[in-house]
Structure 1
Amino acid sequence: MYKILIIEDEIPARKKLKRYLAQVCSSYEVIAELETVEDARLLLSKKHDVDLIFSDIELRDGNVFEIYNDIVINCPIIFATAYNEFLMNAFEANGIEYLLKPYSYERFSNAWDKFLRLKGGLPKNYIELIGSLNNLIEVSQESSVDYKNQFAIKSNTGIYFLKVVDIVCFQADNGVIFAIDQWNNRHVMPQTVFVEIEQFLDPKEFFRINRSENVHRKFIDKLERYNKNTVLVFLNSKSKILKVSQTKTRDFNSWVGV
């Protein structure tokens, strides 16, 4: 029987993962379902008889690599996340697969099969290394699409087109994502999760600064330190001020070149 640990803060994502797990394996035990970095750190610092971890990356209280960088993990990890910028971190932290949400059953099944092969003691030789690199390339190619220069927005009177160059930021609010333009108008996006929007945005121009906000580089007016590990972003559109999350600050500073 395989002992499985799930680290995921979204209930629908956990239900999907467990449904797929039940389809690929008949002998397993989910030893815990954890929603926070703090709870995961506490368990992993004491419990070592885990066969496989399914792990999201951005949780409600931080980034899971805060754990994996500090605690030695002795089992493989399958990452399932909406973010594609942590690929290399994942493979450096015992990651054997990187499922980009929303992932299919086929992708999940392939990840499980890889776990079984490794669990069966196949030699970790050059061929295995090449296989991991090929998976990395495949995921990168899957998330590589043409960037949009406009979005089609539905209104009560029809459909209009919002130019990407005019979008100051995207904001999520109670399950709805809004695009805020440079005239401070709010446009309801047809997409309901950020990953569906971000696949069409040039990452050189847009950056997700926290769980609910993504900013356009051209509209950043200035930055100010909020505290030791957090930055305030001033957008030159109606004096809008946003805050970069603690887990995103280092990457954001690198993105803006400071």
Structure 2
Amino acid sequence: MKILIIEDEIKAAKSLAGMIAKIKPEAVVEPIQQSIEGAVAYLSAHEAPDLIFMDVQLSDGLCFEIFRQIKVVSPVIFCTAFGEYAMDAIKSNGVDYLLKPYSAADLETAFGKIDSFRSFFQQQSQPDWQELVRRLDRNDGKTSFLVFHNNRYITVRTEHIAYIYIKYDSPYIVTFQEQKYTISQTLEQLQSQLSVKQFYRLNRQYLVNFDAIKEVEHYSARKLALHLTTPTPEPLLVGKEKITHFLQWMENR
């Protein structure tokens, strides 16, 4: 049994590989892929694995971009901290998911489900990945967020958000009017509720609104610098591994 892990956090990937080795000692774990680009290249050049464990948030974007670029014929178990809109789409296609943080018991249960559905995956009927991508593309996200500020509850319209960032482990919403609000959700939870066409996850600290991007320039041979209409606490840089995906996101409006 060949298993491919697509996960951008190498520590998490190695931990998963270790659990797989204990539960399925006969399994062969293929070289770990940490990005959309790497996963597409590997799947294009190698025979399809028997099973794929795929993190939703990768270093160069959401994993669903993989299904846009290449035909995936293997069953997939998604590893994710995403919200219900993603979970509904994933479950509707007959595949399983592991909600982070997951345990060895969760992994055993997932393997049990995959084993019971093995005959299904070996027949001509395959999960409709393109329908999954279409459903996620149609997600327009939340229209507003409720925040607590100055002893009052305030509704912040999503269209008024320039960017969201993490400071000292706390997420802050910053509007185009430079108003700043704390919010009691993780950046991953917030990302899962926002339109993937409108908001981009630059890194583990920043989510930016397309409408807030004033200009993009070459910072160096391997990075881009973003300048927003609303000031940010520090320079915003796009690393080499994300440049292609980011520019595609900018272009495909």
Larger deviation, residues 218-227 vs 176-185: 176-185
| 1:28 paired to 2:28 | no
Q: TM-score, normalised by structure 2?
A: 0.65
| Pairwise CA distance, 1:174 | 4.0
Please list every run of 5 or more consecutive structure 1 residues that lacks an aligned counterpart in the other structure.
30-48
Contact 1:226 1:232 in 2 (8 A): yes
Q: TM-score, normalised by structure 1?
A: 0.64
Please list every run of 5 or more consecutive structure 2 residues that lacks an aligned counterpart in the other structure.
88-94, 99-108
Aligned partners of 2:112, 2:151: CA distance in 1, in Å? 48
Q: Which residue of 2 aligns with 1:217?
A: 210
| Pairwise CA distance, 1:116 | 6.8
Q: Which residue of 1 aligns with 2:153?
A: 159
> Per the alignment, do residues 238 and 172 of structure 1 end up closer, same or farther by CA in structure 2, a change over 3 Å counting?
closer
Q: Which residue of 2 aligns with 1:107?
A: 97
> Per the alignment, do residues 243 and 78 of structure 1 end up closer, same or farther by CA in structure 2, a change over 3 Å counting?
same
Aligned partners of 2:4, 2:168: CA distance in 1, in Å? 29
| Pairwise CA distance, 1:182 | 1.9
Q: Which residue of 1 aligns with 2:56?
A: 81
Q: Which residue of 2 aligns with 1:227?
A: 220
Aligned partners of 1:238, 1:124: CA distance in 2, in Å? 53
> Per the alignment, do residues 72 and 13 of structure 1 end up closer, same or farther by CA in structure 2, a change over 3 Å counting?
closer
| Pairwise CA distance, 1:89 | 6.2
Aligned partners of 1:89, 1:18: CA distance in 2, in Å? 26
Contact 1:177 1:192 in 2 (8 A): yes
Larger deviation, residues 203-212 vs 70-79: 70-79
Which amino acid in the other structure matches residue 55 of structure 2? A
1:36-51 alignment runs, 5 A limit: 50-51=27-28
| Pairwise CA distance, 1:95 | 4.6
1:53-92 alignment runs, 5 A limit: 57=34, 64-65=38-39, 68=42, 72=46, 75-76=49-50, 77-82=52-57, 83-88=62-67, 92=71
**Superposed CA offset, 1:19-62 (max 9, x none):** 9x68xx98434xxxxxxxxxxxxxxxxxxx8535696745xxx9
Contact 1:205 1:216 in 2 (8 A): yes
Percent identity of equivalent pairs: 15
Contact 1:54 1:78 in 2 (8 A): no
Aligned residue among 197, 206, 212 for 2:199:
206
Which amino acid in the other structure matches residue 113 of structure 1? K
Q: Which residue of 2 aligns with 1:126?
A: 124
Contact 2:226 2:238 in 1 (8 A): yes
Higher normalized contact order (CA 8 Å, seq sep 6+, divided by chain length): 2
| Pairwise CA distance, 1:233 | 0.9
Aligned partners of 1:98, 1:228: CA distance in 2, in Å? 36
| 1:197 paired to 2:190 | yes
